[in-house]
Structure 1
Amino acid sequence: MEPRGGGGGRWSVLAAVCLAALALPWSFVGGAVATPAVGRELGGSPQALGWVTSAFMLSFGSCLMAAGALADQFGRKRLFGIGIALFGLVSLAICLAPDIWWLNALRAAQGLAAAAAMAGGSAALAQEYEGEARGRAFSLLGTTFGLGLAFGPLLSGYLIQCLSWRAIFACGAAMGLLALLLGLPRMHESRDPNAAGLDWPGACSFTAMLALFTTALLQGPQLGWHSLLVRMLLLGSLALLLAFVWIERRVARPMLDLSLFRYPRFVGVQCLPIATSYCYVALLVLLPLRFIGIEGVGEVGAGLWMLALSAPMLVVPSLAVSLTRWRSAGFISAMGLLLAAIGLLGLSQARAGSPAMLLALLLIGCGSGLPWGLMDGLSVSVVPKERAGMASGIFSTTRVAGEGIALAMAGALMALFTGKGLADAGLRTSAAVVQRLASGNLTQAHALLPMVNPARLAETYGLAFQQLLYLLIALTLLSAGMVLVFLRSETESRV
């Protein structure tokens, strides 16, 4: 893989950006695995603990597109350096967090830094390589990202068992520092001479809309969906969404060009990250809570089980690209979602710790890996070449913001189904009991409801989890159908 213009120094740039791409998904899945341990040490309500993951995803997803615009204007190297340095410092600060509120605030700052590092690093890497070498560099970048997802839960489990949950973020700080030392001295600065600055009204309204909507989803189960605060949050998010659309249709250089949604195939591509959010990403957070808090397998055991779900991401995305020689990317993506739905169905019926559960997790990982390997290429191939940059930015935002919303919605639905299950069993409980059981904290739920056998509470959780899986199956199948409909015109293009 020869870099543009030669020079071994650009290998350092590639290594630095890949190291950042390894640290970012590890921060996401590591936070999910660490949540039970964080709760044991720092305490906090289920809503507060839910923000351990949601705060990172929300700030990362809502700021990713804005970070790309800032990189074009102020310099890709500069933004990467600022982002990765801030990521390392914030990760170090998380190790010293005295309570859950400080930790969540720092997780939001960590997501902001991750957006800057990813946007600046990816753009800088595109400037260092060209032609086929650029494709191989970005393929390696994607593989590294998959490594973080695949082995992050297992490594996080070992760190928690041997040291502490704080060690996860200490490793993130060390990886950020190493990426900074490797990449910054050898990276060339580059800018877009035609960059017109950031669409601040659009960026602010979009970020605020996501924040209000996510907060409403997290607070709804505790306060009740009819409470004034939750209603105000939902109405506020709707008003900000309308304001965002109004702004983007009138500014000269919008953050999000809404005219791209006139292309049916572009709309179909946006279904792919939304689908994988529900059939794959949500499980990266929900399953560790179940394995640790309900099944009692411990952090390392949870990491081993999660390996069955995430390890296929190391090979299946590349296999999907090879399969496009024979069938269209849209068809392969839809079949992958169908396979993931079959895996979800198997998971809903499998007994905990059984070979059937192992097979179901492998099916979900393999099925999700097929669209995962194709959707980045599809996001820019289904629009005219001159719109590719904007299309990629919209896709990235849809992907990460959709994952954050999916996590919040999955948590809210688990609380809803758990509360209904407890009520159907004739148990009069408080919102605190429902929330702790829905978040996988069987010990605290039983402490609040000592007259009920823990096995009965675990059974209620299992039924609620099964109901959630049924809904995820329906969403995955619906997405597969939409992909087939909107991408049906794809007959010749291959990724």
Structure 2
Amino acid sequence: MTAQRRIFTAVLLTSFMGPFLGSCINIAIPAIATEFNCPATELSWLATAFLLGAVAFLLPFGRLSDILGRCRIYGIGTAAMAVVSFVAAFSPSVSFLVAMRALQGLSLGLVFSSGMALLVAAHPAQGRGRAIGYSAAATYIGLSLGPVIGGVITQHFDWRLIFFFVAAVILTSSLLVLSIKEDWYGQREGGFDLLGALFYTAASTLTLYGLSSLAHAPWMRFVMLAGLVFLALFLWQERRAATPLLHLSLFKNTVFTMSNLASFLNYSATYAISFLLSLYLQLVRGLDPSTAGLLLFLQPLTMAILSPIAGSLSDKYDPRLVASFGMALTTVGVAGYSLLDADTSMPLVAANCILVGVGFGFFSPANNNAIMGAVSKYLYGVASSMVSVMRLSGQAVSMAVVTVLLAQAALPADIDQPSHLAAAIRLIFSCLAVSCAAGVIASLARGKRKAPEEE
């Protein structure tokens, strides 16, 4: 097997496992809540901790992958994630499981900061969109199979087996990459901006943690404020650093800037869908985990089928048009979820899942191709990290919005009642649809694609 094929296979495996792990946990939340005797709605921290752990170190890890080698960082990240996933299977409490989820996220930060850069560097420009499309397809297959496999494991075996499965697949990916003798680097001169890394980690952690905890502790607004102060310090440091973690000049490129904004808005509007639908299908409609998993399967399956097609289209046509079309369809679908109630027909729920899947399948690979195509090859590590920062930050904001609105929509004593929960879910989807509509505007505003050297 050639080095290119090994990289392609390894990246596809981790592209599969990241979302697989998230969607598996979502479908297992009622069972985990029962085992540890806690309300299911409080377990949103299982998703939030995972995202916080990943976002907090993405940019520093991206710079390290440029300096130390993308294969090396990717291999370390996959090995660490395999170990942590194995340990998570023995979690004795919710707090321990949340901590392991945070460490899983940190490990995945190493993978995400280098994976896209490694994939793009190992493929010629004319095939980049197609490779990204297949990576996106693997992501959506992970989302597709997560609820199905997770539902079967949870209903017939034990949710802990999910983590053993993750550890085995991630270890395979690690061995594939670590066996490659060559490596790809970015800008290696100038050293590592340690002060910028500290400011970035503090800013991302405090801001997202404060936002996620705001529903239960109003004083967390001050933690958010501290995070914004560190964000200002980070931007100040990046303007003066000889070799910054993030080249702020990249944001002069409208395609790069607006594509990243569109990505953030898209994920902030869509990531919570599987979590909310899992609660809706099982706690409002009374479906068992396996049946709920099969319904949740439709949306990401549609994404997986369409992503390679959308990636190839974005090689031939302006990614702005392909991505904006997908974002518009996603907006309609998310708005459709805001109409769910206890009597909504299941075929209608299924049709809406497919509609959102079509929209997201067109948006994601085309948008990522636009971002990676807007920078030079020496900045692939930074661009890869930004793709992941926008995605994971959007996902963290999505879960934070869910946590806040679930707490505000009803009292803790009655939020688990089907009628109250259904009303809360409708309210949340209405808010998410607004974010999705803003993403359409950002996607259209990016302008036409230009080669990096033309900027």
**TM-score in terms of structure 1 length:** 0.82
What is the Cα deviation at residue 399 of structure 1? 1.8
The equivalent position to 1:247 in structure 2, one of 237, 242, 249, is 237
Rate the CA distance shift 1:353–1:415 in 2: closer, same or farther, 3 A. Answer: farther
Q: Is 1:304–2:294 an aligned residue pair?
A: yes
1:329 is aligned, of 319, 343, 353, to: 319
Residues 88 and 176 of structure 1 are in contact (CA less than 8 Å); yes or no, is this contact kept in structure 2?
A: yes
Structure 1 residues 124 and 479, CA gap change in structure 2 (3 angstroms): closer
Q: Which amino acid aligns with 1:194?
A: R
Could you tell me which of 364, 367, 386 is aligned with 1:394? 386
Deviation at 1:325, TM superposition (A): 8.1
Q: Which consecutive residues of structure 1, in runs of 5 or more, have no partner in the other structure? A: 1-6, 420-428, 443-456
What amino acid is aligned across from residue 269 of structure 1 in structure 2? S
Which secondary structure state, in structure 2, belongs to the residue aligned with residue 240 of structure 1? helix
Match of 2:433 in 1: 473
1:338-377 alignment to 2 at 5 Å? 338-350=328-340, 351-377=343-369
Among 221, 224, 232, the residue aligned to 1:234: 224
Distance 2:258 2:193 in 1: 26
- The aligned counterpart of 2:268 is 278
- How far apart are residue 132 of structure 1 and its match? 5.3
Question: 2:214 is paired with a residue of what secondary structure?
Answer: helix
1:433 aligns with 2:413: yes
2:174 counterpart of 1:180: yes
Q: 1:140 to 1:322 in 2, by over 3 A?
A: closer
Counterpart of 1:482 (choices 419, 442, 446) is 442
Q: Is the 8 A contact 1:52 1:104 kept in 2?
A: yes
Evaluate the alpha carbon distance shift between residue 401 and residue 197 of structure 1 in structure 2; reply closer, same or farther with a 3 A threshold: farther
Paired amino acid for 1:301: T
2-structure distance, mates of 1:86, 1:390? 22
Report the Cα distance in structure 1 between the residues aligned to 2:383 and 2:4, rounded to whole angstroms.
27
Q: Judge conservation of contact 2:265–2:394 (CA < 8 Å) in 1.
A: no
| Contact residue 13 and residue 125 of structure 1 kept, 8 A | yes
CA distance in 1, matches of 2:75, 2:377: 29
Contact 2:326 2:363 in 1 (8 A): yes
Shift of 1:160: 0.9
- Give CA-to-partner distance per residue, 1:400-435, whole Å, 9 cap, x none: 22211222123212322x23xxxxxxxxx5xx326x
Residue 110 and residue 270 in structure 1: after superposition, are their counterparts in 2 closer, same or farther (change >3 A)? same
* 2:197/2:245 contact within 8 Å kept: yes
Residue in 2 aligned with 1:422? none
CA distance in 2 between partners of 1:198 and 1:120 (Å): 16
Structure 1 pair 325–237 and aligned structure 2 pair: CA distance change class (3 A): closer
Name whichever of 306-315 and 256-265 sits farther off: 256-265
Task: State how far apart, in whole Å, the 2-side matches of 1:403 and 1:333 are.
Answer: 19
Letter in 1 for 2:109: A
Alpha-carbon separation, structure 2, partners of 1:385 and 1:88: 30
Q: For residue 361 of structure 1, what is the amino acid of its counterpart?
A: C
CA contact (8 A) 2:270 2:432 kept: no
CA deviations 1:23-80 (Å, max 9, x no partner) are: 2221122222222222211234668622211111111123222222212222333322
Distance 1:271 1:174, change over 3 A: same
Hey, what's the Cα distance between the residues in 1 that align with 2:392 and 2:163? 21
Q: Deviation digits for residues 74-107 of structure 1, max 9, x if unmatched? A: 2333322221111111001000011111111111
1:433 maps to a residue whose letter is: A
Which one has a bigger Cα radius of gyration? 1
What do the CA deviations read for 1:230-283 (whole angstroms, capped 9, x no partner)?
A: 232122122122222222222111112222222333222123212321332221
Structure 2 stretches of 5 or more lacking a match? none
- Asked if 1:28 corresponds to 2:22, the answer is yes
Matched, 1:84 2:74: no
In the alignment, structure 1 residue 409 sits paired with structure 2 residue 401: yes
Shift of 1:148: 0.9
Q: State the identity %.
A: 26
The equivalent of 2:151 in structure 1 is 157
Aligned to 2:284: 294
Distance 1:184 1:491 in 2: 35
The answer on whether the counterparts of 1:13 and 1:187 sit within 8 Å (CA) in structure 2 is no
Residue 450 of structure 1 is matched in structure 2 by: none
Change in CA separation of 1:353 and 1:159 when aligned onto 2, cut-off 3 Å: farther
| Residue pair 2:203, 2:228 contacting (<8 A) in 1 also | yes
Partner of 2:51: 57
Q: State the match for 2:194 in structure 1.
A: 200
Shift of 1:287: 1.5
Q: Which has the higher contact order (CA 8 A, sep 6+)?
A: 2
Displacement, 1:314?
1.0
Distance 2:136 2:326 in 1: 18
Rounded Cα–Cα distance in structure 2 between residues aligned with 1:388 and 1:177? 25
CA distance in 1, matches of 2:381, 2:76: 22
Instruction: Check 1:89–1:306 CA distance in 2 against 1; reply closer, same or farther (3 A cut).
Output: same
* Distance of aligned partners of 1:380 and 1:289 in 2 relative to their CA distance in 1, 3 Å threshold: same
Q: Distance in 1 between matches of 2:316 and 2:129?
A: 21
Describe the shift of the 1:293–1:208 C-alpha distance in structure 2 as closer, same or farther (beyond 3 A).
farther
- 401, 420, 431: which is aligned to 1:460? 420
Q: Is residue 32 of structure 2 the alignment partner of residue 38 of structure 1? A: yes
Q: Equivalent residue for 2:306?
A: 316
SS of equivalent to 1:252: coil
Give 1:120 deviation, angstroms: 4.1
What are the within-5 Å matches in structure 2 for residues 109-128 of structure 1? Answer: 109-125=103-119, 128=122
